[in-house]
């Protein structure tokens, strides 16, 4: 009798959506069927390509995504803007500009395959997936393993997006603010694509005004996702990023947008006051 792994392989080879489990007689969905569904259903399916990211009782370190996956795709026509999404305020501001331009957007997030967190930003991919859902924008998750060729991993993900959506990539978009060297590195690295940085050199006053409007409109919480040192005081992760905090940053010489690597932020939907996680 064939084991279920071999049955799964054969079903995928034959482009079938299901196979019969030899132990139970039940039908089991294949990985390809889940990919066509477009997101983790939260039911602990055996061949979930999304690492059971929406399963409530799976701990953060049990999520395993071994290759790029596209989630929450809704059919769109025309070229795509691929927004390199870190999960923070700069990414949110860039997304807002793209939507204002009526662009078709796919978020792309690379993360440490063994930590399940966005490098430097320190945001877990479970929260990245939640951001994609509440913003109603598709997301491509790209795991990076030790010694991974970063550019090749991203190119593989871009090819996957094109194949699964049937849409071409129009632009690669980044939320850079004013660091010229980083922006130039992106242009040089992705010379075969048009690189777009819609926030570059926009005055902070204008960016922050936009940010507070978006926060109010979407009922978001913006918090620090990493610790920040300010005047000898350490601000913990989870500290709210607010106008009053920004005023304190200015007093202590901390960049108001944390652009120089002082720290990073996360944007999430605000939970109801009576919310109680089971």
Report the phi/psi class of residue 157: left, alpha or beta, with left for phi > 0 and alpha for psi in -120 to 50.
alpha
Domains and CATH numbers, the chain: 4-62 (no CATH), 69-196 (3.40.50.620), 214-269 (no CATH)
- Residue 40's Cα: distance from chain center in Å? 15
**What residue spans of the chain are helical by DSSP H?**
4-13, 31-37, 89-100, 125-135, 150-165, 180-189, 204-218, 243-251
What does the pLDDT read at residue 128?
96
Q: Which of 148, 212, 137 is nearest to 173 (CA)?
A: 137
Q: Across residues 161-170, what is the average pLDDT?
A: 94
Q: Is 277 exposed, middle or buried (0-12, 13-18, 19+ CB in 10 A)?
A: exposed
Tokens of 105: 């957007």
Q: 201-215, pLDDT tens digit by residue?
A: 999 999 999 999 999
Residue 2 has pLDDT above 90, yes or no: no
Q: 36-86, pLDDT tens digit by residue?
A: 777 787 777 888 888 878 777 666 667 888 899 999 988 777 899 999 999
Rounded distance between C-alpha atoms, residue 13 and residue 164, angstroms: 18
Q: Which of 278, 266, 196 is nearest to 224 (CA)?
A: 266
pTM, entire model: 0.88
* DSSP 8-state symbol, 166: -
């Amino acid at each position: 009798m064939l084991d279920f792994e071999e049955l799964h392989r054969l079903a995928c080879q034959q482009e079938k959506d299901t196979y019969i489990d030899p132990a139970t007689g039940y039908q089991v969905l294949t990985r390809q069927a889940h990919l066509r569904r477009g997101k983790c259903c939260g039911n602990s399916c055996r061949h979930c390509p999304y690492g059971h990211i929406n399963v409530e009782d799976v701990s953060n370190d049990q999520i395993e995504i071994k290759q790029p996956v596209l989630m929450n795709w809704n059919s769109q026509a025309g070229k795509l803007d691929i927004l390199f999404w870190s999960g923070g305020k700069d990414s949110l501001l860039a997304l807002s500009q793209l939507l204002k331009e009526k662009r078709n957007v796919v978020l792309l997030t690379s993360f440490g395959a063994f930590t399940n967190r966005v490098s430097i930003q320190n945001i877990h991919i479970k929260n990245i997936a939640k951001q994609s859902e509440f913003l109603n924008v598709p997301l491509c998750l790209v795991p990076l393993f030790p010694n991974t060729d970063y550019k090749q991993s991203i190119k593989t993900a871009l090819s996957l997006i094109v194949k699964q959506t049937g849409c071409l990539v129009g632009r690669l978009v980044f939320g850079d603010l004013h660091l010229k060297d980083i922006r130039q590195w992106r242009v040089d690295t992705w010379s075969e694509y048009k690189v777009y940085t819609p926030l570059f050199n926009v005055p902070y006053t204008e960016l922050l005004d936009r940010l507070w409007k978006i926060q109010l409109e979407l009922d978001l919480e913006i918090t620090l996702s990493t610790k920040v040192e300010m005047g000898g005081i350490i601000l913990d992760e989870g500290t709210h990023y607010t106008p009053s905090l920004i005023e304190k940053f200015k007093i202590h010489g901390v960049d108001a947008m944390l652009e120089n690597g002082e720290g990073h932020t996360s944007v999430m939907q605000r939970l109801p006051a009576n919310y109680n996680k089971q």
